[in-house]
Structure 1
Amino acid sequence: MTLSYINELQSFLKEEQIITDPVLTQKLSRDCYWYSPILDEELKDMKADAVVIPENLAEIEQIFAIAFEHKQPVLFKGSATGNYGQIVPLQGGILIDTKLLNKIIEIKPGEVRVEPGVKIGMLEKTLRENGQELCIFPSTYLKATAGGFVSGGSGGIGSITWGNLWDGNVIELTILTMEEKPNKLIISGDELLNYIHSYGTTGFIAEIVFRTSEKTEWIQQIISFENLDDSLRFSEKLAYTSSIQKRSVSTCEWPIPTYFKPLSKFIQEGKHVVIIEINEEASDELQRLAEEWHGEVTYTILAENYHKGLTLSDYTWNHTTLWALNANEQMTYLQASFDLNRYIEQVALIQDQFKDEFYQHFDWMRMDGKVVPQSIPLVRFSTKERLDEMVRFCESIGIKIFNPHTYLLEAGGWEAHISSVLRTKGKNDPRALLNPGKIRVTLSEIVN
């Protein structure tokens, strides 16, 4: 990094907005990639040359212009709750921390416009105070930022009803391009696919318009089952039961519940559990459905205590993996999409093949309006070769694996959209300065 480069930043940023201390820049250059022992080894020494904390979009435009002139890589940081090394600089450069860009700009019926640094938890609280709520949000919502969720996430709490981010849950994005004179683009419709879950490789997300829905009074429950198949069939039936509003349906095979230490007094020995969020009025119908599949409601958090103190969504999605890691550092995870017509058979085949190396954890959701048994299974890590063997076996029996042990966008399940993302990147980032290295494939390679 040249002295003139730093001097140019100092000409319009305050001293506390520029961080170059190597120890601190390395700390700020990390996200939760350590969920993966493979990424932990690959990324642990990577860091930015400088972290900058802009106060407004005008400052980001100036940072972009300087980076473009000096051919410096630029990346973006929210709260660093991602798991794939999305924010980790592979080639040094500038890491832009968005924490001061944290305004809720406008709330309207059915939508909310925000800056990228807004914390999802604060946004959800504000919306509920105004009679609305987010359609979907990550299990890390208390820390996660809006920009980080859109740039590095996909689905979460609410996806059982509303699908993924690209299923209409992002209405519009304002994008800043990486050019000599950065342009501001308004993106909507199908073009959003080039920016959602693209790791900031196609532009800076300056504003987001999320879809919202009417506020619902949610209760949270744990339902316990003797039989894993019963817990899965119950979850499937609940996913299809339109008379019960749902925000979350998460199925965990025993012994995963033993990792949930704060819930220990509500966990029964040897029982598989389903963790749910449903509308308050449906509790009696839910009770009947649970009994039909030999399940027992063993814990309930009433709607009046929703998101106050203990919250069951903290044990779903990739939070489940975090509890396992806290309990046993040898555990890691995969991301998978099972076949709705074969998932019971697929689960049995995995059990026969891998025994206690592979524990089932499903977070049921809708994709393109269809119910999908989406899974974040826990696996016992020994070697990369054994992990690859698990992936190959799953794919051989019809399970789609989205590899969480790579920082490459095209290798983590985004291959269907990568050519369109690359074309967009070519227009918006002609010097390939935005998060370089996170896309290795080239457009010509795809075409050829």
Structure 2
Amino acid sequence: MAIEAEKAFMLGLGINRVLLDSGSREKLSKDYYWYSPVLEKKLHDKLADGIIQPETDEEVVKVLEIAYAHQMPVTVRGAGTGNYGQAVPLNGGIVLDLSRLDRIVEWGEGWARVQCGVKLGVLEREARVRDRELRIYPSTYMKATVGGFVCGGSGGIGSITWGDLWDGNVLEATVYTMEEQPKKMIVSGDELHAYIHNYGTTGILTELVIPLAPKTEWTQSIVFFDDFMKSMEFSYTLSLDDSIRKRLVSPHEWPIPSFFRPIKKSIRQNQAAVLLETAEGTLPKVTELARSFGGEVGYSIPSEKYRSGIGLSDFGWNHTTLWALKCENNVTYLQAGFSLEHFREQIKLVKDTFQDEVLLHFEWMRSRGKVSPASLPIIRYTTEERLNEIIDFFNKHDIFVANPHTYSLDSGGRGILPLMKQRKLENDPLRLLNPGKID
């Protein structure tokens, strides 16, 4: 379609929120891909022809029907807090902004049914009023939507106890296909694997059922160590100790803690720091365990101040990269899975080889029930070639890398790719849903 015909088509949809001005198209065609200098170069000029913000499932279906008839690409968007260009339209067309589908539909016993545009911070607040809380959520939870997290994320705060999105942390999804007459599907069980971390390529998710945990009063603390490996041994032992309930176990080698400007006065110079959220009443046991590894609790926030200001989870997961970028403009990151059996040797290899070019930051989590050392190392970036050399080194030494410097699910994403590709063929025969993100 010609540009003017596209505009006429979008304005004729009968939907109130159709945005065609350049400012809206520029803003809502972007996400946080700029964490990656590689993606920044590839995606900075990509732009939708129009933004549509439906407020009901019926409006979503109307957009899909007409887009299919005119063979217009549709790229779905939540809050745009993803880091891999998930919400960036590679081929113009429509960005379908679902942030106005933001209603909590129903509360159940240990679950909530929500529209996809509900912000995770809102859901957490409302759940805690009801003596429940989110199981897992990203560090961007105040802005991120439930649908955006399910379709573009994987794990986060709480994953040390509850695992990642594939570990039963999505119970059901309402999905619409991209066909002449879009089908509504209610998906659950293993079939959800076709839609978790799918970047909106296999169907449009408008409603989700999310399991909730009983509310815990959380104490936050930082344990400091002279030696990073001691911080890893402590955090590993803590992660295995089920008598201490945990939401965050996040070790950082120096100088990463120096990037945390809002709590700069509480950071100890030249020391590794382990950021913790543990259940109220566990701090004495945490302190005792820390001492046994040569560490010391040097900062804490009592449970009554949880969520009353900046919290330690605001410095973990990929917020660590954000704070680093505020201090050094030549940094980026990787997503890496170290071996539980060999993480000590792997850490030594990485540090001996790259020294301060690679700064290590781990997030202990459970995956399929097993404790594992996930890492989001900070990379002092020089060239794409050098970045690829580092990735190749990691892979050579059995450190799995989910490459955050590609927008393709095939070459960097997570998820159950064979099932996703099968559903892509079935649900999107013209390949109009976020084209270019999955082969």
The equivalent residue for 1:321 is 321
Q: How far, CA to CA, are the matches of 2:90 and 2:77 in structure 1?
A: 14
Choose 2-11 or 323-332, whichever is displaced more.
2-11
| Equivalent residue, structure 1, for 2:357 | 357
2:435 is equivalent to residue 421 of structure 1: no
Structure 2 Cα separation of the partners of residues 5 and 378 of structure 1: 42
Structure 2 Cα separation of the partners of residues 8 and 395 of structure 1: 48
CA apart distance, 1:99: 1.6
- What is the CA-CA distance between 1:11 and the residue it aligns to? 3.7
Counterparts of 1:128 and 1:238, CA distance in 2: 25
Count residues in correspondence.
438
Whether the 8 Å CA contact 2:10–2:50 is kept in 1: the answer is no
User: Counterpart amino acid of 2:316?
Assistant: T
Residue correspondence of structure 1 range 247-286 to structure 2 within 5 A: 247-286=247-286
Larger mean CA deviation between 219-228 and 18-27 belongs to 18-27
TM norm structure 2: 0.98
Matches within 5 A, 1:332-343: 332-343=332-343
Q: What is residue 182 of structure 2 aligned with on the other side? A: 182
Task: State the distance in 2 between where 1:334 and 1:285 align.
Answer: 33
**Structure 2 residues without counterparts, runs of 5 or longer:** none
Aligned equivalent of 1:430: 429
CA contact (8 A) 1:33 1:40 kept: yes
* CA–CA distance in structure 1, aligned partners of residues 139 and 413 of structure 2: 20
Task: Give the match's secondary structure for 1:47.
Answer: coil
> C-alpha offsets along residues 59-118 of structure 1, whole Å, 9 cap, x if unaligned?
110000000000000011111100000000000010011121000001111111100110
1: CA distance between counterparts of 2:6 and 2:333? 41
Instruction: Output the amino acid matched with 2:280.
Output: E
Q: Distance in 2 between matches of 1:33 and 1:45?
A: 12
Q: Secondary structure at the match of 2:382?
A: coil
Q: What's the offset of the Cα at 1:251?
A: 0.5
Q: Which consecutive aligned stretches of 4+ in structure 1 deviate over 6 angstroms post-superposition?
A: none
In 2: Cα distance, 1:194 partner to 1:55 partner: 25
Counterpart CA distance in 2 for 1:176 and 1:320 is 35
After superposition, what is the alpha-carbon deviation per residue over 1:388-443, rounded to whole angstroms, capped at 9, x for unaligned?
111111111111111000000011143x7222111101111111000000113xxx
Deviations 1:303-340 (A, max 9, x none): 11111112110000000000001100111000000011
Equivalent residue number for residue 49 of structure 1: 49
Q: Which residue of 1 aligns with 2:155?
A: 155
CA distance in 2, matches of 1:279, 1:22: 48
- Write the distance in 2 (CA, Å) between the matches of 1:311 and 1:157: 12
Matches within 5 A, 1:88-127: 88-127=88-127
The alpha-carbon deviation at position 283 of structure 1 amounts to: 1.4
SS of the residue aligned with 1:150?
A: helix
1:357-412 per-residue CA deviation (whole Å, 9 max, x = no partner) reads 00000011000000000000001100111111111111111111110000000111
2:65 paired residue number: 65
Partner of 1:446: none
Letter of the aligned partner of 2:435 in structure 1? P
CA distance in 1, matches of 2:352, 2:118: 45
The match for 1:10 is 11
- In the other structure, the counterpart of 2:241 is 241
Return the TM-score normalized by structure 1: 0.96
Cα deviation, residue 167, structure 1: 0.3
> Match of 2:79, as an amino acid?
S
Whether contact under 8 Å (1:336, 1:399) holds in the other structure is yes
Listed one character per residue, the Cα deviations across residues 133-155 of structure 1 (whole Å, up to 9, x for unaligned) are: 11101110000001100010000
Superposed displacement of residue 44, structure 1? 0.2
Q: CA separation in 1, counterparts of 2:118 and 2:438? A: 27
Q: Tell me the CA shift for residue 5 of structure 1.
A: 4.5
1:366 aligned residue: 366
2:400 alignment counterpart: 400
Inter-partner Cα distance in structure 2 for 1:300 and 1:13: 53
Query: Which residue identity does 1:130 align to in structure 2?
Result: R
1:84 aligns with 84
Over aligned residue pairs, what C-alpha RMSD do you find? Answer: 1.1
State, as a whole percentage, how many aligned pairs show the same letter: 48
Gaps of 5+ in 1: 441-448
Partner of 2:45, secondary structure, is coil
SS in structure 1 at match of 2:299 = strand
**Cα 1:72–1:12, aligned 2, differ >3 Å: closer, same or farther?**
closer
The 3-state SS of whatever aligns with 1:166 is: coil
